[in-house]
Every structure is written in C-alpha cells, then in structure tokens.
Amino acid sequence: MTKPIIEEELFDNLEAVMEELSLTDSVSIMRRSISHNILIKDICYLSAQSGGSELWSKTDMYYCEESLLQWKNKLPEELFFRCHHKYLVNFACITKVEPNKLTLINGERIPVSRRKWKEFQIAYMRWDAKYN
C-alpha cells in the first residue's frame, strides 16, 4: 500500500488477507482412531454416503459421520458448492467444466444437477473472477 492510505484500498487489502488466512484453516477428521488435520484448500470434494460422507482430499479419502449439509455449513461458501444432492465440490479443484459435469484435478467426474447448473455457473464465475 502507498501513502496516503485510501480507505477503500485498505479494506480491499484487509479482505484479501482475511480470505488468504481462511484458506490456511483446517478440519479435523478421525480415521482409524487417529485424528488428521486437513487443510480446507486441500479438500477436493465430499460425497454423501449412508450415515455420513466421504471427504476426498488431493491425496486420500476419509470417511466421516458429518452429513453434506453439516459440511456445507462448516466450509467457506465462496470456495465450496453443493452441485448435486450427493456432492459438495471445491472450486479450486475443478479442471474442466462441461454441461452438467465437472472434472477435478484427481480425474474424478462429478455431476451437476440440472436445477443447480445456472447457480453453479454464476458461483464459479464469481470465484474465478476473484481468485484467478
């Protein structure tokens, strides 16, 4: 920042720092009675399973008892989107967007429901404009 400080520039910079710090947050997952901390930015997607969900990171999969709704409320909405009733996806892990289908960095293909397609496109464009 330069002097004299412009109030709008100051608040923009503070907001950027806050967002950067939120990406260094982590979640704790129990796996085989061992607690694992996973950075939020390393979560590719979550999928609904009976009695819980699967959290897929860039390197591994973890089963957890939390539902997708609980995860949706826990994770930052500017980074994650519930594109289907069974999937919550991290925008940063998307490599290809096709009509009603997403390809992630790990090669997984995730469906986007027809009802969520327009909402997804708008949210993804907002994320892309802000972070890329």
pLDDT at 85: 95
pLDDT number for residue 33: 74
Rounded mean pLDDT of the chain?
Answer: 85
**Predicted pLDDT of residue 43:** 92
Backbone phi and psi for residue 77, each to the nearest 5 degrees, phi listed first: -70, -20
Report pLDDT for 34. Answer: 75
Residue 26 and residue 85 in contact, taking contact as beta carbons nearer than 8 Å? no
Is residue 54 scored above 60 in pLDDT? yes
First-to-final CA distance of the chain = 21
> Starting from the edge strand earliest in sequence, which strands make up the sheet with 101-104, in order?
94-98, 101-104, 109-111
* Digit-coded pLDDT (tens) for 3-45: 777 777 766 766 665 565 455 577 777 666 778 788 888 899 9
pLDDT tens digits, one per residue of 63-84: 988 899 999 999 988 899 999 9
Give pTM, 2 decimals: 0.78
